[in-house]
Structure 1
Amino acid sequence: MTPAPGMPTLHIPIDHHSAVHVAAAQARDVARACSLPGALPDRAAVLASELASNIDKHARNGAIYLQPAAAGSGMDIIGVDHGPGIADIGLSFTDGYSTTNTLGAGLGAVRRIATDFTIRSEAEYGTLAHAWIADPRLTRQPPAAVGALCLPASGQRQCGDSYAVVGHGRAWTGLVLDGLGHGPEAAMAVQRAVRTFRPLADHGLAEILTAIDRALRHTRGAAAAAVRVHGDRAEYCGIGNIRALALSPQGVQQQLTGQPGTVGYNMPTPRTRTLQWHGRDSVALVHTDGVDHKWTWDASPAYLRLPPSLMVASLLHSHRRRRDDATALAFGSSQGVTCLATPSVP
C-alpha cells in the first residue's frame, strides 16, 4: 500500500539491482497518491530510478525513501548510502561522466528533472541526496527548510508514530507523536492527534497539547512534542519520553526531556520551554524512541551542518531501531535548523 499525505515513509533497501525498478514503480505510485498531475509521476519514477541506480552501482548499505513532502506540496525522494562517497560532485553532474562505463546521465538528469535537488557526499560518511518534485503551477519555490521521515517498525504496515507541520505567518509549528506500543491502535491514536493539531497549529504549544490530551481519551495515548520556530528563536513543549536537543557545529549544547506523563491519560499541565538559539549555525533536534539516542556520540561537524531533509535521513538510516517505529522532524531557516526527537529505549 502506498502512503497518502501524513502516512509513513516508504523505505526501499537497494540491496539488489532489481530494487532499482521497485523504487521507480513505488515512486510513481506515491506521486499519484500525492495528486501530482500529468507527467510528474513518471518523472518521479525517473528520479527514484537514477538515485537508486547510483547506489546500486557505486555504494553500499543504501536505500531510497519516498513520501509526501514533509511540508508544502509535492513529494520527497531521498537516497542514502554509506559510501564510498563522490570524489567530485560538480563533475558528476556532467552529462556523459561515468566511472562504470555507463551513459552517465544520472545526477545531471536528476538535477534537471527535480523541482529542487540537494546532495552532500563525503568519503567517510557516504552520499545523501534529496530530490523534491512538485507541480510548478502551484509553487516554484522549495518548501521552507523542513525535513522529516516516519518509518514503521519492521514487519508492520501501520506506524504508531506520526508528525505534522503547519506554516503560519513567519512561524512554523510541528508536532511529533509516539503512540504507546505500535500497530493499528497506536496508529489510530496518533492520526486522531494530527487531525486535532492542524486547525490549532497557531495556538500556544501548551494549548495544543491540552487539546490533543482531550482528543486521545479512550485511546492508548501517546507521547507528544510540539515545536515552533520563529526564525530567531525556537520553543518546545513535550509530554512523555521525548527530548529536544540544541546543537551547533561544536556539538550538543542543550537537551530537554518531555514532562513525565501520557497525552490522553494523566497528562500534567504542559510547560513551554525555550531552546537555545545561537544564530545562523544553531540546530535544535527532536526524534521518537525508534532512534538510538547514542547517535549524538557520532555526530560530526559535517553532520551538524546538513540541511534538515538530509539530517533526518542520515539519522534514521544509520541509527534507527528497527523493532520500533521511528520518526524525526527538522525545521531550518536562514537562522539555523530546529529538529524534534524522542530518545530510544534500551
Structure 2
Amino acid sequence: MPRVWEIPVHDSTRVRDARVAAERAAAPAGLDEPRTAAAALVATELATNLLKHAGGGRILVDVVDPPTPSGGAARLVQIAAIDHGPGIADVAAAVRDGFSTTRSLGAGLGTCRRIADDFGLHSAPGRGTVALARVGARPTEAVPFAAVRAGGVNVPFAGADHSGDAWAWARSGDRLTLMLADGLGHGPDAARASTAAVEALHRAAHLPPAEALVHLDTALRGTRGAAVAVAQVETRAGLLRFAGVGNIGARLRDGDRWRSLLSRPGIVGVHRHATLREDRMPWAADRLLILHSDGLPSRWTPPADAELLAADPAVVAAVTLRDASSSARPVRDDTAVAVLAPTPAEVP
C-alpha cells in the first residue's frame, strides 16, 4: 500500500517534518541521493514559504506517475503546498530566483522551479496559493507528447499513514484512462481495496470504462470493495467515455459551463450494478474533468478561473481541494481529487 503524507505547517517545527516526508517518499520513487536531496530541499522551501507568507498551511507528499504517460517512466515525489493566505500579487516575479517580499534570501519558489522536474503555481488574491513540484530520477529519454494530462492529490483521513483513496492513469494506444477509487471506509483495509483497483487498471487500460469496471470487480473480490469511476479519452476520435459505480463525484467543464457525470449505485468487488451505463461525449481543448471521492463536500463550486485550463492538472486538483475545504465542515473520510486536462498546447 502506498504511503501518503499530510503535514500541517503552523510553526517552524513542522518544516523538518515536511523534509523528512519527502526523503521517505524518495525510496519508493526510486530517487538516488542527489534527487532525494532535491526533493527534501523543495519540501523545506515550500513549508518555509507557508509560514513566512501565508501564516501556515499544509504540505501533501505523495508518490505519483508522470502527468503524461510515457510507458515506463519512473515515478515522482509530488510535493504540494496549500494555503488560504493572502495570495501572491505577482506570480511571475515570485518564481524568479532571488525574489523576496521579506528580508530573507528569497530563493524559495525560484529554487523549487529550477530543481524540480515539474513545477506549478496558482494564486488568487484573498483565497490563497497552491505551489506544487514533482521530483524524480532524471529520464534518459524524452517524454512522448500527449494531448491529455492527468494529476491529482490525496489526503489521508486524520493524519493516517495510508489513504483509502487512490487515483491512477494508464495508456493503451491512443486510449488514456483515469481512475479514482475510494475503498470502503478508511484505514489499511480501505487502502488495500483501492490499491488493488490501481493494479487492476493497468491490466485493463485497453478496455472501455464499463468493461474495465467489470475487470476491476473481479480483481477486488476478497477486499472490502470500493467506489470507482473510470474516464477514458480516445485522442484520435476526440471522445470521452465515463462510467462509475458508487459515490465518486465527477464534473466536466464544457466550454463555460460544468455538468455532472453520474455513477451507478453499488460497490465494486462487493455489489456491482447489473448494468453499467457508459456516457460518451466529445473531448476538446476546452474540456476539464474533475473526479473526487466523498471526502470532498457534495456541494462545491468548480473553479471559475479560465487560466486553470492551462495549469498542471495536479494544481487544479489542489485548488479544488483548497476551495472546497471549510473548517465549518470537518472532513470525515480520506479525500482524493483527480483531474484530466488538455495539454497547454491544446489550449486556445
- TM-score by length of structure 2 reads 0.86
Question: Residue 241 of structure 2 aligns with which residue?
Answer: 235
Q: Distance in 2 between matches of 1:206 and 1:9?
A: 29
- Bigger drift between 215-224 and 139-148 goes to 139-148
Q: Could you tell me how far apart the structure 1 residues matched to 2:334 and 2:120 are?
A: 26
1:285 correspondence with 2:290: yes
For residues 38-65 of structure 1, the C-alpha deviation after alignment (integer angstroms, 9 at most, x for no partner) is 3000011111111111111010351111
- CA 91–159 in structure 1, closer or farther in 2 if over 3 Å, else same: closer
Deviations 1:95-139 (A, max 9, x none): 433222111111221121112212122213221112121222445
Say if 1:200 and 1:336 are closer, same or farther in 2 by CA, change over 3 A.
farther
Secondary structure in 1 matching 2:250: strand
1:302 Cα deviation after fit: 4.9
Q: Deviations over 1:150-205 (max 9, x none)?
A: 22211533322222211222332122111222223222222222222221211222
Are 2:36 and 1:36 equivalent residues in the alignment? no
Partner of 2:116: 114
Q: 1:335 to 1:293 in 2, by over 3 A?
A: farther
1:316 aligned to 2:318? no
Q: Could you tell me which residue of structure 2 aligns to residue 271 of structure 1?
A: 277
1:65 aligns with 2:60: yes
1:83 matched to 2:85: yes
Distance 2:55 2:84 in 1: 6
8 Å contact from structure 2 (residues 287, 342) kept in 1: no
User: Could you say which residue in structure 2 is the equivalent of 1:331?
Assistant: 340
State which of 178, 200, 207 in structure 2 corresponds to 1:203.
207
Unaligned runs of 5+ in 1: 1-5, 338-346
1:165 pairs with one of 160, 163, 169: 169
Deviation of residue 36 (structure 1)? Answer: 0.7
Of the three residues 147, 156, 161, the one matched with 2:160 is 156
Instruction: Quote the sequence identity (%).
Output: 34
- CA–CA separation in structure 2 for the residues paired with 1:139 and 1:29: 26
Amino acid in structure 1 at the alignment position of 2:123: S
- Contact preservation (8 Å) 1:8, 1:150: no
- TM-score of the superposed pair, with normalisation by structure 1: 0.86
Corresponding residue for residue 70 of structure 2: none
Q: Report the number of matched residues.
A: 329
Measured after TM superposition, the shift of residue 92 of structure 1 is 2.4
In 2 relative to 1, CA 265–336 (structure 1 residues): closer, same or farther, beyond 3 Å? Answer: farther
- The 1:205/1:173 distance shift into structure 2, 3 A limit, reads same
Corresponding residue SS for 1:43: helix
Aligned equivalent of 1:133: 135
Bigger shift: 101-110 or 258-267? 258-267
Q: CA RMSD in A?
A: 2.5
